[in-house]
Chain A
Amino acid sequence: GAVVSQHPSRVICKSGTSVKIECRSLDFQATTMFWYRQFPKQSLMLMATSNEGSKATYEQGVEKDKFLINHASLTLSTLTVTSAHPEDSSFYICSAPRQGASGNTIYFGEGSWLTVV
């Protein structure tokens, strides 16, 4: 079954509005979560690392004020796209590392399709 859950799977919003995407670790605690953006037929682009109890770490070129990340608890991180524009339309994916017997493994959410009209 799913290890990391993302919601909503699809969202359409009007240009200029904000939209929030949630990422939950289902049966484990995640002090760190990762947010990615993916364009069609391209690989994952890491946007930021979400840290529980502290500020997120953004990758170079990612606007902090536009992509707000809040790691509210050990099982929940949210990505808010503020003042969305059509060019923000994309597939957003979160992931979280889960400790196993041999080490950490990254598990991904199902992804969220954002369409800004």
Chain B
Amino acid sequence: EDQVTQSPEALRLQEGESSSLNCSYTVSGLRGLFWYRQDPGKGPEFLFTLYSAGEEKEKERLKATLTKKESFLHITAPKPEDSATYLCAVRSGTYKYIFGTGTRLKVLA
């Protein structure tokens, strides 16, 4: 069964304290792994798409990496404005997207 698990469920960091969020997946025929940021009361905002093991993508303080079993979202020197819920999703087959439950990140000033 296709499945996506994100950990930790919640994370509190001090400003400047780097960390990583994990997204573990089991899927038949990965056709993309996606990271989103969701602020309270808003729709998820697209961050990255990764397609193959070893691929990495960066955007400001965020860096996403992918292996055959998991993806990491590394946050370097986070700021309070990085506080949000980060969602991971995988695509298996035609238009079948499976979402994780998200990691709620809180960055303290």
**Binary interface encoding of chain A residues 8-45 relative to chain B, with 1 for a CB under 8 A from any of its CBs, else 0:** 00000000000000000000000010100000011110
Beta-carbon contact of A110 and B49 below 8 Å: no
State whether A107 touches B46 (Cβ < 8 A): yes
- A-B pair number, CB within 8 angstroms: 53
A106 to B46, Cβ gap below 8 A?
yes
Number of interface residues of B (CB under 8 A): 22
B101–A105 touching, CB < 8 Å: no
Rounded to whole angstroms, the CA-CA distance of A44 and B43 in the bound complex is: 10
B-binding segment of A65-73, A78-86, A96-104: A96-104
Interface residues of A (CB under 8 A from B): 4, 6, 32, 34, 41-44, 46, 49, 91, 93, 95, 97, 100, 102-111, 113
Give B contacts to A, CB under 8 Å. 31-32, 34, 36, 41-46, 49, 51, 87, 89, 91, 95, 97, 99-102, 104
